[in-house]
Structure 1
Amino acid sequence: MGYKNVCFDCRKAFNQGTDLKNIRESKCPECGILMTQVTHRFRPPKQNEIKKWNVAKFLMEKGFLYEHVYKRIYQVRGLTVLENYATYPENMRDAKEFVEKYKEQAVNE
C-alpha cells in the first residue's frame, strides 16, 4: 500500500511507501520533471512498453488516477450502491471508451 511517483518522460515509477503523513511531490531523478502521484493500484508497464505508458498518461490526464472506478453506481432506498470494479484499459481505443463511459467518476483537480 502507499503511493507511487511516476515520470512519463523517463517511463519510471518510484514507490513512496506507506507513511501517508510524509507523502511528497518529487522530481524525477533522471530528468528533473515533477512526477505524477498515483495510488499503489497503478502497475507501471515495462519501460519499453511505450503504448501502455501513453495509455496511462492519457487516463491520468483525464482524471483517472488509478483509484477504484465502479462499473455501476445506483441508489436503493436512499443508499448508494457501488457495483464491481472496472478494469483499467491497456490500449488507447479502450481507454477512450473508458473515459467516456466513466467520466462522472474522474477526479477533477
Structure 2
Amino acid sequence: MGHKKVCLECRVTLNSTYASDSESSYLCSECGKPMTLLPHRFRPPKKSEHKKWETVKFLIDNGFYFQHIYENASKSVNGFTKSENLATYPQNMRDAKDFVEKFKSQAKQ
C-alpha cells in the first residue's frame, strides 16, 4: 500500500510507496518545509479549498493522521480486541472539533 506525502503549507500531495527503512523526513519541493506522511486512504482537498485544508491541518495537529477511527472501539471477543464501525473523517471545522473531542482516546500521541 502506498502513502501520501502532504505539505500543509503549499497544499501539495505526492503519492509514495513506503518502506520502513526509508528516510523518515520528507521535504516539500516547493517550500522546503517537512511534509507529513499520511495513509493511502487520505483524499486531499483541491488546492483552492482553503477551509478544507484548515480542517485537515486541525485534525493532524490533534493526532488524527487519517488512521482508522472506530465508533465502537475495543470489544473483547475470545481474548482478541475487536473494533467496529469505522468513523468518517469530517469535512469542515465545526464537525472536526466534535470529532476530536469524541475520539480523543484514539488520537496518536
Gaps of at least 5 residues in structure 1 are: none
- Partner SS for 2:96: helix
- Partner SS for 1:43: coil
Q: Identify, as 1 or 2, the structure richer in strand.
A: 2
Q: Determine the C-alpha separation between the residues in 1 that align with 2:67 and 2:47.
A: 22
State the Cα distance separating 1:22 from its structure 2 match: 3.1
Q: For 1:60-83, what per-residue CA distance to the aligned partner results, in whole angstroms no more than 9, with x for missing partners?
A: 010000010001124345543311
- Partner SS for 1:35: strand
Instruction: State the percentage of identical aligned residues.
Output: 49
Q: In 2 relative to 1, CA 5–79 (structure 1 residues): closer, same or farther, beyond 3 Å?
A: same
Q: Determine the C-alpha separation between the residues in 2 that align with 1:76 and 1:40.
A: 28
- Correspondence for 1:68: 68
- Partner SS for 1:71: strand
CA contact under 8 A between 1:2 and 1:20: conserved in structure 2?
no
State the Cα distance separating 1:24 from its structure 2 match: 4.0
Q: Determine the C-alpha separation between the residues in 2 that align with 1:86 and 1:20.
A: 27
TM-score, normalisation: structure 1:
0.89
TM-score, normalisation: structure 2:
0.89
Q: Determine the C-alpha separation between the residues in 2 that align with 1:74 and 1:24.
A: 30
CA RMSD of aligned residues (A): 1.6
Kindly provide the amino acid, as one letter, of the partner of residue 104 in structure 1.
Answer: S
- Correspondence for 1:85: 86
Gaps of at least 5 residues in structure 2 are: none
Moved more, 66-75 or 26-35: 66-75
Q: For 1:52-106, what per-residue CA distance to the aligned partner results, in whole angstroms no more than 9, with x for missing partners?
A: 1010010001000001000112434554331110000000000000000000000
